Amino acid sequence: MSAADLSIGGARAALDAGDLSAVELADAVLDRASATEAQLHAYLLIDHEGARAAAVAADEAIAAGTAGPLTGIPIALKDNMVTEGVETTCASQILAGWEPPYDGTAVAKLKQSGAVIVGKTNLDEFAMGSSTENSAFGTSRNPWDTDRVPGGSSGGSAVSVAVGSALGAFGSDTGGSIRQPAALTGTVGFKPTYGLVSRYGLIAFASSLDQIGPFARDVDDALTLFEAVAGHDPMDSTSWDGAVPDARPTLDAGPEGLRVGVVEEMNGEGADPQVLARYREVLSALESAGATLVDVSMPSIAHPVSTYYLIAPAEASANLARFDGIRYGHRADGETVEELMARTRGEGFGPEVIRRILLGTYALSAGYYDAFYGQAQKVRTLAIQDFERAYEQVDVIAAPTSPTTAFKIGERSENPLAMYLSDVFTIPSNLSGHPAISVPAGTDDAGLPIGFQLLAPALGEPVLFRAAKAVESLMGVSARPRLEEVAG
């Protein structure tokens, strides 16, 4: 087995025992990237020089006895996470060539931990999409079937972990952009409680919804990655100014005694029959292992997509106004400032970004604000209240992660609504700000991964990780994509 196939926990043990050096591990991961990138396009940029330098420093730290959990571990970053001196584009032509002068807080924490940053991964432009097809620099492909999407918007990060061109990765989740690609690629994807991971240095899509979180091969690794970046940051006004919940003590407590909510409005209606069957199989396994299934109703989340697609585009229309051709990024010619801005945005933004800016601007415009954006915020408040009532009865809530397995590239490109419905089960926890995780639950008849999702109340990471570890142990999913089919 190549070192690139190790879990973070396995690599940590090998590094600490001296059976593997950080340089050897970095080389194995970089070699895996070289072998798979032509087919998969997980990365927009691979920092060979920077990764090897970080690996040398990690070996020195290990030798000195100062290594931490991520020292020497190769990590990939979604290319909307600001990284000092490394091109950061959001997969958009409008930021092509931009090299930030600073690190975002999560990136800085990873560097301080001794992690080896492999590179920047592909995404839907400005994180707007569910397939990674909206990238201005080409589509990422699913390693389980390269004719299919890896999900989005953090598709590149998911692919890097699935094939071993990183041992862990980070993405951002605005409406499911970590959990949905995790489900479609057979990886673990975790969205923390809003505010537990600083958004400083995350290029904003929808500020009240965005949250940085990890991809990993197993639940233990996902927790290790989360622990490295969580914590209060005075640079982020929405950062949680309190203790980060410690999920370690109860991680292996098992499912016995857990109250698992089965929400009538999130019970898989509209999902592919095989996805729904696997969802019910996991619920049955949890019940057999000592968990209690509790039926709950949350009427306000029956139509999450319509709520989300008023709030998120409205916030995007404000956030993306900064890309004007004046301060940074792409700049077009124009005889007036207005003409310069119009040409810059027309040339720099792709069609999906333009679509969402227009939707958001319309929803915020005079005469429509109360009818659209204002109403959506009221529904969001009702959803939060429904969640609060549900969590009086249950510890966690279960749902499918994605209504389908990975779909064909191009299959939904001309049908935005069909694409938006990919996130129907993940959006509710973004509206509430609560944590959620997707865990591999097996494959369908075509051999494509299926994800099982768990949700918990705000700051409920301990019970969420406990439940996720229980599902992982019960289902015993260990299948990986066949590398011979994606290696050059």
* Residue of 154, 177, 300, 438 marked catalytic: 177
Do the Cβ atoms of 332 and 78 come closer than 8 Å?
Answer: no
Q: What distance in Å separates the CA atoms of residue 273 and residue 82, rounded to the nearest whole number?
A: 40
Closest CA to 452 of 481, 434, 473, 431: 473
Do the Cβ atoms of 105 and 38 come closer than 8 Å?
Answer: no
Q: Specify whether 177 is catalytic.
A: yes
Q: Please name the helix (run of DSSP H) or strand (run of DSSP E) that holds residue 199, with its range, or none.
A: none
Closest CA to 301 of 201, 379, 393: 379
The per-residue DSSP string of 248-282 comes to: STTTTS-STT-EEEEEGGGS-TTS-HHHHHHHHHH
- The CA-based dihedral angle spanning residues 304, 305, 310, 314, taken in that order and rounded to the nearest 10 degrees: 110
Q: Please name the helix (run of DSSP H) or strand (run of DSSP E) that holds residue 24, with its range, or none.
A: helix 22-40
* Residue of 78, 109, 111, 191 marked catalytic: 78
Do the Cβ atoms of 112 and 106 come closer than 8 Å?
Answer: no
What are the residues facing 142 on neighbouring strands? 145
Q: What distance in Å separates the CA atoms of residue 322 and residue 271, rounded to the nearest whole number?
A: 38
* Residue of 21, 113, 140, 153 marked catalytic: 153
User: What is the edge-to-edge ordering of all strands in the sheet holding 74-78?
Assistant: 43-46, 116-121, 74-78, 168-172, 212-216, 188-191, 436-443, 449-455, 396-400, 259-263, 292-296
The per-residue DSSP string of 412-450 comes to: STT-HHHHHGGGTTTHHHHHHT--EEEEEEEE-TTS-EE
Q: Specify whether 208 is catalytic.
A: no
Do the Cβ atoms of 296 and 266 come closer than 8 Å?
Answer: no
User: What tokens were used for 122?
Assistant: 């592909």
In terms of Cβ atoms closer than 10 Å to its own Cβ (0-12, 13-18, 19+), residue 277 is: middle
Q: What distance in Å separates the CA atoms of residue 51 and residue 95, rounded to the nearest whole number?
A: 23
Pairing of strands 74-78, 212-216: unpaired
Could you say which DSSP state residue 298 is in? -
Q: What distance in Å separates the CA atoms of residue 7 and residue 26, rounded to the nearest whole number?
A: 14
Q: What distance in Å separates the CA atoms of residue 250 and residue 468, rounded to the nearest whole number?
A: 11
Q: Specify whether 153 is catalytic.
A: yes
**Residues belonging to the active site:** 78, 153, 177
